[in-house]
Amino acid sequence: MAQDTQRGGDERRPPRTPGAGAPRRGSADPRRGSGSSDRSGAPRSSGPDRARPRQPRTDDPRSDKNAPPIPADVEARQLAPDVRGELMTLDKATADYVAKHLVAAGDLIDVDPELALKHAQAARTRSGRIAAVREAVGIAAYHCGDWAQALSELRAARRMGSRSPLLPLIADCERGVGRPQRAIDLSRTPEAEQLTGDDADELRIVVAGARSDLGQHEQALAALSTPALDPERTGLTATRLFYAYADTLLALGRNDEALQWFINTEAADIDGVTDADERIAELG
């Protein structure tokens, strides 16, 4: 699945994200920028032992008067072509309005997810029957820790034919609303079997977290290690996978192995988004 904001040249997508993973350094939300606070109650990790704070209530704008202002540098043409294509059923003025709000949502998702959600909701007021728009609302709500709204919107996007593999996010939202067994059940569906690469790994992380929610740490470890992990991998998904694996080993009291996998996490973490070095210091 694509990252939160993908850019090709000056083209932007509405917020799209993989399932959550290891916590970012200096941030409780694994997808939020390192300098932001955690006032929204977003998830610390979708791996084992993720904190589940209360779900915030976010006003749903019912008219344009509630829509946030569109930044002056945002233009409709900045939206990725495939997403713009989904807006072709709208008249031009409406399509431009929706596109601008989606671009703004994508730009803000890491730095101000609450405002990103308001932009996505503003787009939905004019285009509630378009999959990409419902997906944008769902992912922004997910970033805000509003699991119920995220789940509703992501399910709607999937029904409408979203081309993104949303199952890892949907499963993680099931965890968020307190249904870890449902998240596990989703991992056994034909849709889950079709996931490959990073998308499949994201679902593994979520399933491991659901198992740990139920106190099933051995099963969580099995979910993370099937297929076997390659410690030479690098990148964001590998970093989250290794971090979750290390955390699960720690929960099982296998501290020496956990230390090694935090070391592997630090090596994989080429962008420095985790606190793996601090965990290494604690265990060393």
Over residues 8-37, the mean pLDDT reads 39
Residue 176 in tokens: 């968020």
DSSP one-letter code for 179: -
Q: How far apart are alpha carbons 41 and 51 in whole angstroms?
A: 9
Measured distance CA(203)–CA(18) in Å, rounded:
9
pLDDT band of 19, cuts 50, 70, 90: very low
Kindly calculate the radius of gyration of the chain based on its CA atoms and give it in whole angstroms: 19
Q: In the prediction, which pLDDT does 56 show?
A: 44
CA–CA separation, 30 and 239 (whole Å): 11
Look at residue 66 in the predicted model and tell me its pLDDT.
83
Tell whether pTM > 0.95: no
pLDDT at 195 over 60: yes
User: How large is the average pLDDT for residues 45-49?
Assistant: 42
pLDDT on residue 7: 33
What is the per-residue pLDDT across 206-216, written as a single tens digit (0 to 9) for each?
999 999 999 99
- Measured CA to CA, the distance from residue 76 to residue 146 in angstroms comes to 27
pLDDT band at residue 64, thresholds of 50, 70 and 90?
confident
Amino acid at 138: G
**Residue-wise pLDDT tens digits, 92-120:** 999 999 999 999 999 999 999 999 999 99
The amino acid present at 137, given as its one-letter code, is: V
According to the model, what pLDDT value does residue 282 have? Answer: 96
Cα 70 to Cα 13: distance, rounded to the nearest angstrom: 16
pLDDT of residue 97: 97
Cβ-contact 43, 17 below 8 angstroms: no
Mean pLDDT, the chain, rounded, equals 83
Domain spans, the chain: 7-279
Q: Which CATH superfamily is domain 7-279 in?
A: Tetratricopeptide repeat domain (1.25.40.10)
Is 135 within 8 Å of 162 (Cβ atoms)?
Answer: yes
How many other C-beta atoms can be found within 10 angstroms of the C-beta atom of residue 261?
26
